[in-house]
Amino acid sequence: MNDETFKASIRKLLKTVGVTTQQEIEKAVQQGLAEGHLNGDETLPARVTVEVDGLSLALDFDGDITLE
């Protein structure tokens, strides 16, 4: 195994996930505000799950997204 290649591929995946997830959350919040489903002062509970096929690995991360 090439350790540098391995770690670089993990970083690339996590960067893609982070950027894409942020963009999609921002769009969903803007849509929720525009449609009146959100007031703009909410704190939204969120969960992220990471699973890796071929490994017995499933990680859950919980947090809040605060709009104000």
Burial code of 58-67, b = ≥16 C-beta within 10 A, e = fewer?
A: eeeeeeeeee
Q: Determine contact, residues 48/14, Cβ cutoff 8 Å.
A: no
Give all strands (DSSP E) within 1-68, no chain letters.
43-52, 57-66
pLDDT number for residue 25: 98
pLDDT number for residue 65: 98
Cα torsion angle, 14, 19, 23, 25, sign: positive
pLDDT number for residue 57: 96
Look at the block and give the residue holding tokens 């071929």: 54
The number of angstroms, rounded, from the C-alpha of 62 to the middle of its chain's C-alpha atoms is 10
- What's the pLDDT band for 1 if we cut at 50, 70, 90? very high
% of the chain beyond a pLDDT of 90 = 100
Q: What is the pTM of this model?
A: 0.88
> pLDDT (tens digit, 9 = 90+) per residue, 14-45?
999 999 999 999 999 999 999 999 999 999 99
